[in-house]
Structure 1
Amino acid sequence: MPAKEEKDGDEITNPYHIAQRLIERATETLELQEGVYDILKKPKRVMKVSIPVRRDNGDVVNYTGIRAQHTDILGPTKGGVRFHPGVNEDEVIALSMWMSLKTAIVGIPFGGGKGGIIVNPEELSEREIEELSRGFIRELEPIMGPEKDIPAPDVNTNPKIMGWMLDEFDRLRGHNVPGFITGKPLIIGGSEGRVEATGRGVVITIREAAKRLDYDLNKMTAVIQGFGNVGSNAAKYLEESGVKVIGITDAKGGVYNENGLDIASLIEYAKETKTVKGFPGSEDLSNDDLFSLECDILIPAALENQITGDNANQIKAKIVAEAANGPTTPQGNKLLEDNGVFVIPDILCNAGGVTVSYFEWVQNAMHYSWKEKEVAEKLEEKMVDAFKAVYDMRDAKKVKMREAAYLVGVGRLAKAMIARGWIKNWEMPIDC
């Protein structure tokens, strides 16, 4: 169970508590047996490991790694690995729970998993990061594999790191196992379109929302918090869709141009400088100012708990598209909904990444690869179907989008429990 309970009246910011409460509410709305929530409220397995790394100066530092496997009722657990000093057990468990719901919503045969290492990767050399990555796999290899648990990139990890992890796993197994990990380089079994997948999926959901809200994308403006892989690709696809991206922030600063930022040039600038701050032809922009800008679309693409009870009322956007996991607290979400903001929840909005990870896993099993166009078409179909399922649930149950997404995800997991015989003599009260 979570290590720390919030006091009455406190804003809930612990992601594990948030996930539990939303899942519990969904089981109650769907009138599910109590056992469903008992199964879903905690992970099947959590493993914490110690990873000693010899630093370049000869010192040995022992890092902590965590892997949570929430449920494998739909298939092997699946989820990224993040390197960040703020990684903790509750966060990793919550992320694994959200992944279970994402895979159910987009209809792919994976359960939810997540991993992380408590480390600031900016303080490590490339050699030290490689040793840390390989050590993580050595310690967790017994509970991993293409039929057990499949890692992927996340915050501060990338295809290069996935390649190191794959190589270490292959060495331990004594043969090539490309389906063990996704998000890896193309030359060793990665998929076309995987790097762009999450950002592309975010923009698909925005487009679908705009259709239903009768908005014209060509007349809309957007701001983005975070300019890593997800934020930068979302910006690129927004611009291609006709949306004017006017503001972007990252951990070091932000930029604003009321006439629209040149995204291709900004991506190249950020690659060189490691920040968007100081981009020629733009004004400086703080994170607080970003949220209060006059715009149509706000995309939080950073970390958890960014939109809260303290700042939600400042947001003027018509649509909030959650490219990050857990960027909005319950209090922040309530204020957004009360103010008429259309929220595309994280477990729907950013599910493009795990969807194309599934495509990569399938290609590895087939020993065959698809062109990017085919990957993009398959992603389009999955994301459009998922959005429709959530939106239809919203209309059927007269709820907001976040609750609708949980109803779809939890309902489909409950159906799998029925199919496996975990729940006896019972039928779903509503189609999920």
Structure 2
Amino acid sequence: MNALAATSRNFRQAARILNLDSKLEKSLLIPFREIKVECTIPKDDGSLVSYIGFRVQHDNARGPMKGGIRYHPEVDPDEVNALAQLMTWKTAVADIPYGGAKGGIGCTPKDLTKIFAHEQTMAWILDEYSKFHGHSPAIVTGKPIDLGGSLGREAATGRGVVYATKALLDEHGKSIKDLTFAIQGFGNVGSWAGRLLHEQGGKVVAVSDITGGVKNPNGLDIPSLLKHKEDTGSLKNFSGGDDMQAEDLLGQECDVLIPCALGGVLNRENAQDVRAKFIIEAANHPTDPEADEILSKKGVIVLPDIYANSGGVTVSYFEWVQNIQGFMWDEEKVNKELKKYMTRAFLNIKNMCQTHNCDLRMGAFTLGVNRVARATMLRGWEA
């Protein structure tokens, strides 16, 4: 099942739980706009190369349609559509005044000579828009600090994952410092989550990324591992742990598994191998519906992506607010507000779980879908 089919299935299940009108349900599922473009650029050798790009604007009932750009050779319309839809429910769960969108370009960034640093890309977008409309810092978020970006934005998604993890563990009478963690994906989100868990006394026992994996049942020294990766470009041959195959990460012995990489990594083939008691979905759509059913039967508690990884878009909202007001916050305030939003959202999800007698994924989906449906009807939608 591809990402769009899985996401739409979760939406329809939430719509049934909420007893939404069938016409409203269909209206909420159909994207507001889909765009496909060809981008032709000159290479360093003078030849031309073309890339296909997609932008899906899913829903704007609650505010401007917000969503990032994915650079990957296998980007396709269904994936971008699914991510745009997930962003609609994610911003609603976080209770920030945005709708959902997503972009994607079918390319391999590492094959290009211009380094695709996230902040640099946002700076280019700001500059291009401002050429025609005057200096407009609020038009895009994730900018460099020098151009109106927010302090705390780089760590925001990983920090939000840790706040979400703490909220879930508190609910079960457990503490980060008493548990073991395995992290799949050690880019921006995974490395920040690992660093912050380590600082709070959590024992990160296994980490993997595209370069390989490393494990230590006594806990990895995350700052040293980050330094090793920076120096060598790889997780392999780290003196503080044993090398492992990256694909073995999902089945590692741990209390909490945090997938931070690609979607669809947990499926019917490997869900049975999971030994963790909790899964925190830091990636977008890492668990397909068949894996969800298997994990549920095993008693594994899954904290869904549309809540768990919403720290990034929440701090993007804070950046937007700062740009509009022309008043910048210090990092302490950014982190304090993020914790407040993440904690409040978890309580709202739990309330929906109790109201509808459902799991955390449906608690999050019913919360998000209900907010978007209410906004749509208040704006004058009629069957």
Structure 1 residue 157 displacement after superposition:
5.0
Is the CA contact 1:83–1:157 (under 8 Å) kept in the aligned structure 2? no
Query: What is the aligned partner in structure 1 of residue 64 from structure 2?
Result: 76
Distance in 1, Cα, partners of 2:228 & 2:124: 28
Query: What is the aligned partner in structure 2 of residue 30 from structure 1?
Result: 18
Structure 1 residue 169 displacement after superposition:
2.1
Query: What is the aligned partner in structure 2 of residue 330 from structure 1?
Result: 289
Distance in 1, Cα, partners of 2:139 & 2:290: 39
Q: Deviations over 1:82-132 (max 9, x none)?
A: 111111110001000000001000100000010011000111101xx6xxx
Q: Which amino acid aligns with 1:249?
A: S
Distance in 2, Cα, partners of 1:82 & 1:259: 36
Query: What is the aligned partner in structure 2 of residue 160 from structure 1?
Result: 120
So what's the TM-score if we normalise by structure 1?
Answer: 0.87
Distance in 2, Cα, partners of 1:402 & 1:17: 16
Q: Which amino acid aligns with 1:43?
A: P
Is the CA contact 1:253–1:277 (under 8 Å) kept in the aligned structure 2? yes
- Determine helix, strand or coil for the equivalent of 1:204: helix
So what's the TM-score if we normalise by structure 2?
Answer: 0.97
Q: Which amino acid aligns with 2:202?
A: V
Query: What is the aligned partner in structure 2 of residue 296 from structure 1?
Result: 255
User: Gapped runs of 5+ residues in structure 1?
Assistant: 1-11, 130-155, 425-432
Distance in 1, Cα, partners of 2:338 & 2:298: 32
Query: What is the aligned partner in structure 2 of residue 116 from structure 1?
Result: 104
Distance in 1, Cα, partners of 2:250 & 2:241: 17
Query: What is the aligned partner in structure 2 of residue 53 from structure 1?
Result: 41
> Which of residues 171, 183, 189 is equivalent to 2:142?
183
Structure 1 residue 237 displacement after superposition:
1.2
Distance in 1, Cα, partners of 2:117 & 2:164: 25
Are residues 1:203 and 2:162 paired?
Answer: yes
Residue identity over aligned pairs, in percent, reads: 42
Is the CA contact 1:82–1:157 (under 8 Å) kept in the aligned structure 2? no
Structure 1 residue 423 displacement after superposition:
4.2
Q: Which amino acid aligns with 1:23?
A: F
1:343-354 aligned at under 5 Å gives the runs 343-354=302-313
Query: What is the aligned partner in structure 2 of residue 427 from structure 1?
Result: none
Query: What is the aligned partner in structure 2 of residue 17 from structure 1?
Result: 5
User: Gapped runs of 5+ residues in structure 2?
Assistant: none
Q: Which amino acid aligns with 2:70?
A: R
- Determine helix, strand or coil for the equivalent of 1:267: helix
Structure 1 residue 415 displacement after superposition:
1.0
Query: What is the aligned partner in structure 1 of residue 197 from structure 2?
Result: 238
Q: Deviations over 1:16-36 (max 9, x none)?
A: 111111111111111111122
Is the CA contact 1:191–1:360 (under 8 Å) kept in the aligned structure 2? yes
Q: Deviations over 1:236-257 (max 9, x none)?
A: 1111222100100001201111
Q: Deviations over 1:227-286 (max 9, x none)?
A: 110000110111122210010000120111111111112222222333222222211122
Are residues 1:102 and 2:90 paired?
Answer: yes
Segment drifting more, 209-218 vs 198-207: 209-218
Is the CA contact 1:70–1:77 (under 8 Å) kept in the aligned structure 2? yes
Query: What is the aligned partner in structure 2 of residue 320 from structure 1?
Result: 279
Segment drifting more, 80-89 vs 268-277: 268-277
- Determine helix, strand or coil for the equivalent of 2:34: strand
Distance in 2, Cα, partners of 1:287 & 1:338: 26
Q: Deviations over 1:191-224 (max 9, x none)?
A: 0000111001111111111111111322100000
Distance in 2, Cα, partners of 1:217 & 1:109: 31
- Determine helix, strand or coil for the equivalent of 2:285: coil
1:31-430 aligned at under 5 Å gives the runs 31-126=19-114, 157-171=117-131, 173-423=132-382
Q: Deviations over 1:333-367 (max 9, x none)?
A: 11111111110000000000000000001111111
- Determine helix, strand or coil for the equivalent of 2:88: helix
- Determine helix, strand or coil for the equivalent of 1:284: strand
Distance in 1, Cα, partners of 2:255 & 2:109: 35
Distance in 2, Cα, partners of 1:365 & 1:18: 37
Is the CA contact 2:28–2:373 (under 8 Å) kept in the aligned structure 1? no
How many pairs align?
Answer: 383
Distance in 2, Cα, partners of 1:120 & 1:406: 32
Measured on the aligned residues, the alpha-carbon RMSD in Å equals: 1.2
Cα 1:200–1:107, aligned 2, differ >3 Å: closer, same or farther?
A: same
Moved beyond 4 Å, runs of 4+:
none
Distance in 1, Cα, partners of 2:230 & 2:23: 49
- Determine helix, strand or coil for the equivalent of 2:41: strand
- Determine helix, strand or coil for the equivalent of 2:283: coil
Is the CA contact 1:68–1:96 (under 8 Å) kept in the aligned structure 2? yes
